[in-house]
Structure 1
Amino acid sequence: MKAACAVLLLALTSSSLGAPQGNLQQRWEEWQMKHGRRYSSQGEETGRRRAWQVNLDLVEAHKRGDAGLSMETNQVADGMQSRRQLLNPTAHSPVVDTHHDNDVSPTRPKSFDWRNKGVISPVTNVDSFGNTFAIVAAGCVESFLAIKNGYLLGLSTYEIVDCCPLVKDDIFDCIHNFGGLCGATSYPLFTGQCKNNTCQAVAKIRGGKAVPAGHVNRMVQVLLKRPLAVLIDASAASFGRYQNGIYNDTDCSNTKVNHAMQVVGYGEEDGQEFWICKNTWGPKWGDKGYVRMKKGADTCGIESHASYPY
């Protein structure tokens, strides 16, 4: 991957940097129109265009060098995505699941996708909210209860932010401790204070458990019963520009995590196994808001920081 990055940098001199400026201006204007961008000043637009052009160069160079993974200048290409802060995995510390890998049935399906069961809520965009882990936690509880009760109910992510500061509690244990989640419309705004007594809880869980790091088979076993929450390192430029394919950038970390996603299934393509992950950057990002992460390689830490509600 390091060598690939060097190739990308060398390719910049023959990509958009050498392209006619009129053509670049047209592509920039078309990109702004497509993604509804309006900037507050000429200075901001200049800076955003500079970031967009760097990402355009990376994408164009990638197209010439790797046919297995598609990248694009998507809605985050100008750098206008939520700032990612390091998440402390030790602060998110549910009780570790003590089941063993040999508990996994040998007859488990070769592929599985909870989206086909109607228990996954629509993809949302963290830019309008600001807390990716709260979105993922709410999504996992929504799916868990939909599997149990037979219907999907939208829950309040704002209540999680108000009542569950990540530095103090495991997020699923916290949801249990304050009595469960209210519906999205019953607790619709962030207040900065926990006000869960102003609405009726409609989603109750017993807490959260963590899959032991590196136990891929255990992840599969849990996933066949409910979706998982995972923490990953999403700082690599290739992740932000992902369009489709199986993601396996080895430049990311499996310990310094800064992003959360919901794992909703798994599969295999051309002999390569992958996790199906629901992201929080809107349906225009990636494959309709989803990314396939290589399975069995702890890609970006995905198999080191998995947990679930119960």
Structure 2
Amino acid sequence: RAPPAGGDDGEISVGQVEWADIDMCAACERYPGFKKYTSENRPDNFDWRDLGAVTEVKNQKYCGSCWTFSTAQDIEGTHFLATGNLTSFSEQQFVACDTYNYGCDGGWMFAAMQYVADFGILVSEEAYPYMGVMMTYNLPTPTCDTDLLNSKLEGDGDDIAHIEGYQMVAMGAEYEDLMATYMLKNGPLSIAINANGMDYYVHGIVGCETIAGSEYCEAGAIDAPSDGDSTMEHTCNPTDLDHGVLLVAYGEQDGVDYWVIKNSWAETWGEDGYYRIERGVNKCGVSNFAQHSVYKKA
């Protein structure tokens, strides 16, 4: 299990919330036809990977930095829609330099987005590669490379992201349907979920047995621990959010609505690094804490 997405006490504190504009369509300049979509007429299946807005699956290793991957990859989508260029941005800048969060000990994506807005830039992964820290060895988080960041502050181009802040998209089950439309019109979304069971996920739609039965969902979709741990039988608690991920797609398969989530545990995990869960029931708290970065012209 990845460490909690939150800080030391795991509590969410967002202060003054700026809510997403339901009519906002960051994708419409590049895809004018998206403007017409609403919750009533959007496609049954949609995937930002098909349109080139999602980078390769990465690996956070033994560092509680899931929040950095969720944030950086949300910004990657925002940058792509604004510029047409898909750039892999630096998680290490967050781990080492973001004083609003806790490095390998966890953090919140909205705070990381605010850090980028306040500092001014997020540099590319190529410029500031991810290191990861073996937490079990009690190694210190690498210090921030301020010289690198300061040298990039006045720059512009495909390898630097600028955002003006973030907007909250969803903070409860009642927002889940709206969240699908917003994602379609504005790019992949940074979300927090409860990660119970993800350690053992292999494939399939988690939760779909409530609709179609375990045989349809393939009983091996989540492998039970070899020691017979019964905790896997418990539904993940939607109010206990402990993992930051990226929402990249939604779909429907034989009557089962689902989300596609990009994880940060390498391509060897899950469905080539991705996770499908039931959509429409706030499974694992998928719609309890969704935020999205807002592009800023340099």
Shorter-chain TM-score above 0.5: yes
Per-residue deviation, residues 22-52 of structure 1 (Å, max 9, x unmatched): xxxxxxxxxxxxxxxxxxxxxxxxxxxxxxx
**What is the letter of the counterpart of residue 171 of structure 1?**
A
Question: Could you say what secondary structure the match of 2:116 adopts?
Answer: helix
Distance 2:57 2:259 in 1: 17
Per-residue deviation, residues 212-242 of structure 1 (Å, max 9, x unmatched): 32211221121012100110111x2x32111
Deviation at 1:175, TM superposition (A): 0.9
Q: Does 1:220 align with 2:180?
A: yes
Percent sequence identity is 26
Bigger fraction of residues in helix: 1
Between structure 1 and structure 2, the one with the greater Rg is: 1
Distance 2:263 2:19 in 1: 24
Task: Show the counterpart of 2:279.
Answer: 295
Distance 2:265 2:286 in 1: 18
**What is the letter of the counterpart of residue 108 of structure 1?**
R
Q: Is residue 82–residue 127 contact of structure 1 (8 Å, CA) maintained in 2? A: no
Partner residue of 2:143 out of 177, 192, 213: 192
Task: Show the counterpart of 2:87.
Answer: 153
**What is the letter of the counterpart of residue 302 of structure 1?**
V
Distance 1:92 1:192 in 2: 27
Question: Could you say what secondary structure the match of 2:114 adopts?
Answer: helix
Q: Is residue 91–residue 170 contact of structure 1 (8 Å, CA) maintained in 2? A: no
Distance 2:79 2:151 in 1: 22
Q: Does 1:233 align with 2:217?
A: no
Question: Which residues of structure 1 form unaligned runs of 5+?
Answer: 1-80
Distance 1:285 1:146 in 2: 26
Deviation at 1:162, TM superposition (A): 2.7
Task: Show the counterpart of 1:177.
Answer: 118
TM-score (norm 2): 0.69
Deviation at 1:84, TM superposition (A): 4.2
Distance 1:98 1:143 in 2: 18
TM-score (norm 1): 0.66
Task: Show the counterpart of 2:203.
Answer: 244
Distance 2:43 2:6 in 1: 35
Partner residue of 1:265 out of 223, 238, 249: 249
Question: Could you say what secondary structure the match of 1:207 adopts?
Answer: strand
Question: Could you say what secondary structure the match of 2:181 adopts?
Answer: helix
Distance 1:192 1:258 in 2: 25
Q: Does 1:284 align with 2:235?
A: no
Distance 1:219 1:198 in 2: 38
Q: Is residue 86–residue 256 contact of structure 1 (8 Å, CA) maintained in 2? A: no
Distance 2:53 2:94 in 1: 20
Distance 1:280 1:270 in 2: 28
Task: Show the counterpart of 2:169.
Answer: 211
Q: Is residue 104–residue 217 contact of structure 1 (8 Å, CA) maintained in 2? A: no
Higher relative contact order (CA 8 A, sep 6+): 2
Task: Show the counterpart of 1:97.
Answer: 20
Partner residue of 2:238 out of 242, 254, 258: 254
Count of paired positions: 226
